[in-house]
Copies of this chain bind each other. A is one copy, B any other.
Amino acid sequence: MSAIPPPFPLTYEALVRRALREDLGRAGDLTTDALIADRHVEARIVVREAGRVAGLPVAAAAFRLLDATVAFEACTSEGCDVAPGTTLARLRGPARPILAAERTALNFLGRLCGIATATARAVAAVQGTRARIACTRKTTPGLRALEKYAVRLGGGANHRFGLDDGVLIKDNHLRLAGSLAAAVERVRLRVGHMVKIEVEVDSLEQLRQAAALGVDAVLLDNFGVAELREAVRLAEGKVLLEASGGITLEDVAQVAATGVHVISLGWLTHSAPALDVALEVT
């Protein structure tokens, strides 16, 4: 059982409503409306491949927002690992909203389970090291909060949620702002006391400078494994180290073994394949 609380419905219901309207269009579900009058049905949502569950409250919202009388009973918990064929939820209620909301619910569920599953695999791969797996801002436009929640369910950590909840000085900034020292000093004068400062570096020399400036974290961009090991040695106890850039599920364990604190993976959110989920009228 996961103890990670889901986002409040208030924060995602507008998104689900837009998705339902996107699928219903102006004329609604032509097929169901023509064929099925007032039938009540039972149905279940099953997963067809192994994975980590994420998104059941969002899927439930899709049915509830179309018709509040649809009963949605989750059969697993968010954050659980499930085998192929597992029933994730049971539905009972009028056939019309259940069939009309089906695709919208599954589109959310498949995507969020996909992200949680991908994250869980990366987390499993680094088990035994101190490295935390983190996601990035490379998320689906409009779905960031939900996708970052799926990452948490996968056992991963969240990096910044946006440009406004942390400072990350990148190469483009340095090119325009001059020296690292000047940049860090300037940022400190400007941001409030609750904002952390991370610096992206592409050499050990830059790492040394950053550590000396007392920043909160350093992002090691596209460092090889040997370089990462050296970075860890250099920075130990001085600054948190994040490895990033082109790290795959295959080499994440090796990267973690270098001793970095955080490994951030863009593909958790931008390229994780959807998990195969389906609704079956029973």
Contact of A176 among B17, B35, B66, B107 (CB under 8 A): B35
**Most chain B Cβ neighbours within 10 Å, of A65, A194, A242:** A194
Count of chain A residues near B, Cβ 8 A: 106
Contact in complex: A26, B144 (CB < 8 Å) = yes
The segment from A71-79, A82-90, A184-192 found at the interface with B is A184-192
Contact in complex: B270, A164 (CB < 8 Å) = no
Contact in complex: B163, A25 (CB < 8 Å) = yes
Knowing A142-B15, A271-B274 touch, does A8 contact B28 (C-beta < 8 A)?
Answer: yes
Chain B residues in 8 Å Cβ range of A144: 22-23, 26
A124 within 8 A of partner (CB):
no
Contact in complex: A137, B103 (CB < 8 Å) = yes
Chain B residues in 8 Å Cβ range of A186: 34-35
Within 8 A of B (CB), among A158-206: 158-170, 172-173, 175-177, 183, 186-187, 189-196, 198
- CA A146 – CA B14 in complex, angstroms? 19
**Most chain B Cβ neighbours within 10 Å, of A27, A29, A30:** A27
Contact in complex: A19, B141 (CB < 8 Å) = yes
**Most chain B Cβ neighbours within 10 Å, of A143, A164, A216:** A164
Contact in complex: B8, A66 (CB < 8 Å) = yes
Chain B residues in 8 Å Cβ range of A32: 163, 173
Chain B residues in 8 Å Cβ range of A262: 193
The segment from A92-100, A229-237, A250-258 found at the interface with B is A92-100
Shortest beta-carbon distance from A3 to chain B in Å = 6
Knowing A107-B138, A132-B193, A141-B18 touch, does A23 contact B173 (C-beta < 8 A)?
Answer: no
Interface of A is mostly: mixed
- CA A139 – CA B28 in complex, angstroms? 17
Contact in complex: A173, B99 (CB < 8 Å) = yes
Contact in complex: B33, A11 (CB < 8 Å) = no
- CA A191 – CA B193 in complex, angstroms? 17
* With A30-B195, A142-B143 already in contact, 16 other A-B pairs whose C-beta atoms are closer than 8 Å: A25-B25, A30-B187, A32-B173, A35-B169, A36-B173, A99-B173, A103-B163, A107-B141, A111-B141, A141-B143, A157-B193, A159-B194, A164-B165, A166-B195, A172-B279, A267-B274
Write the residues of chain A forming the contact surface with B, with a CB cutoff of 8 angstroms: 3-5, 7-8, 10-11, 15-37, 39, 41, 43, 65-67, 95-97, 99-100, 103-104, 106-108, 110-111, 114, 132, 134, 137-145, 148, 157-170, 172-173, 175-177, 183, 186-187, 189-196, 198, 216-217, 240, 242, 261-262, 267, 270-271, 273-274, 279-281
